[in-house]
Amino acid sequence: MRSRSLSPSSRRRSIRPRHAAVAGVAALAATLSACSDGGSGSDDAKAVKPKVSVNLTGDQAKAGAPVTVKLATKDVKLKDVTVADAEGTKLAGKVAADGRSWTSARMAAPGTSYTLRATTDQGGEATKSFKTAPPEKVNKVTITPGSSLKTVGVAQPLSIVFDHPVKNKAEVEKHLKVTTSNDTTGSWGWIKNYDGKDRVDWRPKEYWKSGTKVKLDAQLNGVDSGADGGWFVRDYDTAVTVGRNQVVKVNLDSKTATLTRDGKAVKRVPMSAGTPGGEKASWGGTSVLMAKEGTINMRSETVGLGDAYDKMVDYSMRLTWSGMYAHAAPWNAAYFGNTNHSSGCVGMSTSDASWLYGQVQVGDPFEVTGSGSKGTPDPGNGYGEWNLSWADWQAKSALKSAS
């Protein structure tokens, strides 16, 4: 078979398109290569996974310490760190000024699983997880006023009673935050509750101003209360508004009880207080209305007075844990206004007790003056802290005494 001879011009026509195609592919490849190299290098730099270390590791990490994250990777800085438990609750924290570490403001709680996510200013991301050891013992609290009480009188303190002993009082007190709508001056003070349990109250320097809004945040989750006390495993809070500015003034000499509002007498009623000279005498000084208990059974043996009485009593207003009340005492009518002849309570007619019961608020102070009292109640016997000077009350703060 004879081959076909191509002319020079034919050879040029067949070669040119091939050169053009090769050149086009080469140019496209060069273009793609330039884009790919630049983008890949930039993305790789941003996607560098940072190396971080955490002070808490494993599934038996020690609770009660802040979480600290440190960055080992050079030439990058921490942008953000989140540490959250299984329910999504985050530990607030702050990146250090040099961008090389982050520390939580709150402490890690016991028996809690945490997931950590750290990002850098170059877009890198690292995650870690750990779990704290469960608590051997849990401490719980009872807060007064509770959530069911929205309005209180001008003498009502914020009060926390602990189920178990609190050895680390200063550490616990640091995590109790009180905010008020008018920057009220006040202080925490540690006392023993009437049942012997540890208790801490926040009392204003002077009676609250009417209308003050008060909020307590007890940020105790993750705080160790100390030997024999155990860990706190949750936070607590409460909020109240201070109601009418009123005081009940009980005068043992004139045998009268006077309700004052904004400093002015509203009504004065005759009464008979405790028999002077023994255990039946009334407490003097300032007590705070703890509860309006209505009709209750009062039995003398519950307050160490033998079998002196066992009565159903109307319009009962509790003033101390030890059993001092203001209430209706129609059986004592002959003594109202002239003789103190009760077993320690402030008794009055049924109509007067009914009226006073309808006027007073939990947290109203009862100021008992005059002769024949058995002294002032201890701070833990109800809310007797108002019988201490401001300086003496401040001295009961664990932070004050530690400074």
Q: b/e per residue, 188-227, with b = 16+ CB within 10 A? A: bbbbebbeebbbbbbbbeebbeeebebebebbbbbbbbbe
User: What CATH number does domain 141-242 carry, 1.10.260.40, 3.40.50.1100, 2.30.29.30, 2.60.40.3710?
Assistant: 2.60.40.3710
Pair 203, 167: CB distance under 8 Å: no
pLDDT tens digits, one per residue of 143-153: 999 999 999 99
pLDDT in tens, 382-398: 999 999 999 999 999 99
Whether residue 369 is predicted with pLDDT greater than 50 in this model: the reply is: yes
Confidence category of residue 29, pLDDT binned at 50, 70, 90: very low
The predicted-structure confidence for 78-125, as pLDDT tens digits, reads as follows 999 999 999 999 999 999 999 999 999 999 999 999 999 999 999 999
pLDDT confidence band for 252 (50 / 70 / 90)? very high
- pLDDT, residue 310, reads 77
β-strands 213-218, 236-242 pairing: antiparallel
Cβ contacts of 90 within 8 Å, gap of 6 or more: 82, 83, 84
Note whether 209 and 182 are within 8 A (CB).
yes
Model confidence at 40: pLDDT above 90:
no
Closest CA to 140 of 165, 123, 171, 117: 165
pLDDT digits (tens, 9 = 90+) for 41-83: 445 445 789 999 999 999 999 999 999 999 999 999 999 999 9
Checking if the pLDDT of 2 tops 70, the result is no
Same fold for the domain at 52-131 and the one at 246-387? no
> Across the chain, what does the average pLDDT equal?
89
What are the residue boundaries of the structural domains of the chain, listed by start? 52-131, 141-242, 246-387
pLDDT for res 184: 98
Q: How does pLDDT run across 264-317, given as a tens digit for each residue?
A: 999 999 999 999 999 999 999 999 999 999 999 887 666 666 666 678 999 999
What is the predicted pLDDT for the residue at 303? 67
What is the model's pTM?
A: 0.84
Cα–Cα dist 210/179, whole Å: 16
* CATH number of the 246-387 domain: 2.40.440.10
Q: What is the pLDDT of residues 237-250, one digit of tens each?
A: 999 999 999 999 99
pLDDT at residue 6, rounded to an integer? 41
Q: Is the per-residue pLDDT at 23 higher than 50? A: no
Whole-number Å distance between alpha carbons of 326 and 369: 15
Query: How far is residue 338's CA from residue 334's CA, in Å, rounded to a whole number?
Result: 8
Q: Lowest mean pLDDT of 186-190, 273-277, 398-402, name the range.
A: 398-402
**pLDDT class of 30 with cuts at 50, 70, 90:** very low
**Residue 290, number of CB atoms within 10 A of its CB:** 18
Residue written as tokens 């994250």? Answer: 69
Per-residue pLDDT at 47: 76
State mean pLDDT over 222-235: 96
52-131 CATH: 2.60.40.3780
One-letter identity of residue 320 = T
**pLDDT above 90 coverage of the chain, percent:** 83
Instruction: Please report which confidence band the pLDDT of residue 229 belongs to, taking 50, 70 and 90 as the band edges.
Output: very high
